[in-house]
Structure 1
């Protein structure tokens, strides 16, 4: 498999043997008879529609004859819920913990499931207040390595990552060249574009350090036609791979865990085009926006421009009364 996810093996993300493990994974990927796998990390703000987009994209790709593996890397563990009709998929982390207590080994059939040609699994996350979600991602990939991840044979591996925080395990695909390219999912709102811009900044930062991951483009979800997301894409120098409209039919079917990315759906052409664009889009170096440029994509009413920042004083903080006291600092004269 053409990836460095096996770099997580047993040494962790910063282990001394990382470079050698990455080289071994790349050598395996170029060996005769092996499939040239595209590993794509999808980032976006929580609730923006990554799971909806990925479930339908992976399903349509499978209907086109591609071998697709979908891996949920969001602690909410909801990436595969639409794919499996609302059924919860046992996560790798919870299954690992349960099997360990029972003195048993985790098997692939315990954590990987399939539907109509799509293979899918959830990494999961720790219980609330009992661990770090980013560390849970790292642990999940370590277990995938033990299950033979880098030997699996797929055309596409799609990784669904929470984009609100591009740090720790969540930023691993970008920081460690674990994927070839990144796709951001956003809408025409400031918060989702703020997250998309953060992801672009992370990609650019690691490119400056010698990384190879690039942005393939943006999927605009719940597009209401106001144009802010498209304007962001143009300013950041990344293409729009698809614009999924804000439509009641999509909302209802998503809420009912119905797949719309199949050949018989009225939305077939949309997800067919998305699949083709995702496959062909090269990894590009983005141009992240600064805060003022990002705010400039929106009208003044939307972001409160025109507000003047007024400095606060000590008197303000003390309710309007401030008694000046001499300093007790001891100042020594130079000898």
Structure 2
């Protein structure tokens, strides 16, 4: 971003609204894809909104930290709720909002303004625009631009976990896949059609960018709220990715999550589950998935539940207008040969 758009301390006659509009209209700087200083696993986690990505990541990151790993958790969802479980429900100041305030005050953003620690986990939220006031995907791009200015590619972590909303298909949310910013993708899903539809879309995005020369692959799937019906496991098998963990639909987990309690620790009965997930992620490889067609996805479910046996009946002009279609004579002029 050009230096002439940077805000300076307030002075008489300065039109900050115009400066901010100009900055919003400018294209963001290209995202760096240079190597990090250590062998860091950067993993992007995708899934349908509300499927349990934040729950999974908060507990996973705590387990990894307990095992002696240095972990950075970054929320990349405009709802900014990835870290809420980690911080007991307390909202974490977002990078985008903090940056805007600092610019207006003529100050620089520091690490301590946006990155916070608990349970040995480092965590931050990118944030996003207010409702109706901007593009969430573009906010993600600007958020990573700010991270790079803070030295993202110089940081020393074993794992960087990125929490992305999977049911948004704009470019900003596909940034880690499109620009090889991560090595692996993990999808979180359940035994329902909508979450598997999102997981299949993510696999399609990975396959598309692999054909374009990308290197990101799918490490596997976490099945959350498993009720034993098996559709999610069948999906993973069909697209060619492993199941990294299966988290049951359990009232104890639901209650503790609702009360902002971490269950991914060695003292919890659920600790072994998240310990196994951490081990499976560490040893996972970036698989190239084989996304399903719409009919293939529907085929994982009983036709009585999805309408898979429905035959589409085309509409007619009479249906649309309420009257039979009148014959329309052509206005084409036909000349006889002389």
Q: Same fold (TM over 0.5)?
A: yes
Give the structure 2 partner of residue 231 of structure 1. Answer: 234
DSSP-derived class of the 2:129 partner: coil
Counterpart secondary structure, 1:288: coil
- Structure 2 Cα separation of the partners of residues 147 and 11 of structure 1: 19
For residue 206 of structure 2, the aligned residue among 179, 187, 203 is 203
SS state at 2:175 partner: helix
**2:148 corresponding residue in structure 1:** 145
Moved more, 217-226 or 95-104: 95-104
TM-score (norm 2): 0.89
Aligned partner of 1:182 in structure 2 is 185
Q: Secondary structure at the match of 2:174?
A: helix
- Name the counterpart of 1:75: 78
Give the aligned partner of residue 262 of structure 1. 265
From 161, 168, 173, the counterpart of 1:170: 173
Cα distance 1:333–1:84, how it changes in 2: closer, same or farther (>3 A)?
A: farther
Structure 1: give runs of 5+ residues left out of the alignment.
Answer: 1-9
Q: TM-score, normalised by structure 1?
A: 0.89
2:50 corresponds to: 47
Alignment match of 1:37 (pick from 37, 40, 46): 40
SS in 1 for 2:82: coil
Paired position in structure 2 for 1:7? none
Does 2:84 match 1:92? Answer: no
For 2:28 and 2:197, the matched residues in 1 are separated by 30
The C-alpha deviation readout for 1:25-45, integer Å capped at 9, x for no partner, is: 22xx4xxxx531000000000
Contact 1:166 1:202 in 2 (8 A): no
Larger Rg: 2
Q: Paired residue for 2:139, among 128, 136, 141?
A: 136
Q: Among residues 111, 120, 123, which one is paired with 1:120 in the alignment? A: 123
* Aligned CA distance change for structure 1 residues 78 and 331 (closer, same or farther; 3 Å): farther
2:215 counterpart residue number: 212
Match of 1:253 in 2: 256
- Cα deviations across residues 70-112 of structure 1 (Å, max 9, x unaligned)? 0000111110000000000011111111111222211111110
TM-superposed deviation, 1:334: 11
Asked if structure 2 preserves the Cα contact closer than 8 Å seen for 1:37 and 1:157, the reply is: yes
Deviation per CA, 1:288-325, whole angstroms, max 9, x where unpaired? 11111110000011101221111100000012444444
| 1:334–1:70 Cα change, 3 Å | farther
Answering whether residue 319 of structure 2 is matched by residue 312 of structure 1, we say no
Q: 2:224 aligns with which of 221, 226, 232?
A: 221
Aligned length: 312
- What's the counterpart of residue 9 of structure 2? none
Partner of 1:62: 65
Change (3 A) 1:157 1:319: same
Per-residue CA deviation, residues 168-211 of structure 1 (Å, 9 max, x unaligned), is 11001001000000000000000000000000011011111111
Q: 1:273 aligns with which of 266, 272, 276?
A: 276
**Structure 1 position 291 matched with structure 2 position 297:** no
Distance 1:334 1:224, change over 3 A: farther
Tell me: CA distance 1:191–1:333, structure 2 relative to 1, closer, same or farther (3 Å): farther
Superposition pairs for residues 156-167 of structure 1, below 5 Å? 156-167=159-170
Give the conservation status (yes or no) of the 8 Å contact 1:124–1:136.
yes
Separation (CA, whole Å) in 1 of partners of 2:277 and 2:321: 57
The 4+ residue runs of structure 1 with deviation greater than 3 A are: 10-13, 320-328, 330-335
Does the Cα contact within 8 Å between 1:215 and 1:283 map onto a contact in 2?
yes
